[in-house]
Amino acid sequence: MKRKSEYFQGCLIGGAIGDALGWPVEFMRYSQIKGKYGKEGIHDLVISSSGKAEITDDTQMTIFTAEGILRADSVLNNQQICDEALSVYYSYQRWLITQGYTKVKEYEHIYDGWLLNKVELNARRAPGNTCLSALSSKKQGSINNPINNSKGCGGIMRVAPVGLYYEKEKAFVMGAEFAAITHGHPSGYLSAGAFAFLIASLIEGNEIELAINETIAELINYDNHKECSDILVKALELAKSNVSDEEAISELGEGWVGEEALGISVYFSLKYSNDFEKGLIASVNHDGDSDSTGSITRNILGAYLGLGKIPMKWMESVELKDVLLRLANELLNKSSN
C-alpha cells in the first residue's frame, strides 16, 4: 500500500492542472481548438494577468469537498456523532458564497474557515447550473431523496478527495452520496462513486487496469449501474485498440454527463498511463467538456504516477497550488486508507 504524500499531492495538483489546461477551450469544438492553437491543439497552460493558470469550479468544489471531509473527521475524532454528507453539504454552501450568492440566515453558523479568506476562490468560472440551483434551493439531496434527475458531470468532477481519504468500498458509498447532494440521477452519483473507488484503488498501489476492473466489479453491485458500467467496459476496450483518440471520444461522448466524463477519463488514463504530459494534452483536445475530462483524468494519473511525474513548470504555474498541497497532506494524515 503506497499511501505516500506524493500520490495524494499528485492527485489534487494533477486535477487542478488538467482543469486549468482545459478551461480556455471548455466550450470550443475540436476544430475550433485546432484553429486557435494549431494542429496539436492546446498543449500548454494559459497564464492569466494574475501570473497563474486559472482553475475552475471543478477544482474549487474539489477543494471544498476536501474541507468538508476534514471537518467531519475532526468531529468524529472528538468521539462525536457526525453526518459526513451534511458536513460536505455545508462546505458546498461555503463554496456557493464564493460564487456571489448571499449568506443564508439558517446557515450563519457555517460561514467560517480559512478557505473563505482565499481571494482566488472568489472567482466565478462557469459554475454548473445544476450545482448552483441545487445548493441555492437550501435542500440537501441524497440517493434516497434525490433533489433532481440530473446526471451532469458536476457530481463526479469534485470527489477525488473521497478516494484519498476513505478505503475503497466506503469511498464508493460516500462519493455517490456526496454527488447526490446536487445530482439525483443514478448515473450522476454512481459515476462519482466509481471515480472515488478508482482513486482509492490506485492509492492502495494497484495498476490502472486492475483498479478499473475492480471498479467495474464494485459498480455492478448497485442498482441502475448499466450506463456507467457499460461505458467503463467500452473505455477499456478502446484504450487497448488501435482507434484514434478522436474516434474513441466519438464513441464515449463529450463528457458533459457523469458516465461520459468517467469513461473518457478512464480511456485516457489507461492509454497514457505512463505519460502525464501527453495524456493531459490528449484529454482536453476534443469537442466536449475539456476542463472536467482533463481534471478527472489528471486526478487519476496523479494518484497513479505521483507528484514527481508532473512537469514542474505546470505545478508552479497552477492557481491555488499551496492550498491543494496543504489539503492533500491533511487528507493523508487523517485518511483511513
CB atoms within 10 A of CB 311: 14
Q: How far is CA 71 from CA 74, 83, 90, 170, in A?
A: 5, 11, 10, 17
Is 289 annotated in some ligand binding site? yes
**Residue among 5, 14, 13, 53 at smallest CA distance from 279:** 14
Is 287 annotated in some ligand binding site? no
Is 19 annotated in some ligand binding site? no
Instruction: Kindly state the cell numbers that stand for 214.
Output: 475492480
Grid cell 486559472 is found at 54
With beta carbons less than 8 A apart as the criterion, state whether 131 and 182 touch. yes
Distance from C-alpha of 32 to C-alpha of 290, rounded to nearest angstrom? 13
Those residues whose C-beta lies under 8 Å from the C-beta of residue 166, and which sit 6 or more positions away, are 174, 196, 200, 335, 336, 337
Is 291 annotated in some ligand binding site? yes
Backbone φ and ψ for 136, nearest 5 degrees, come out as -75, -10
Those residues whose C-beta lies under 8 Å from the C-beta of residue 15, and which sit 6 or more positions away, are 58, 59, 62, 160, 295, 296, 298, 299, 302
Binding region for Mg(2+): 56-58, 289, 291-292
Binding region: 56-58, 289, 291-292
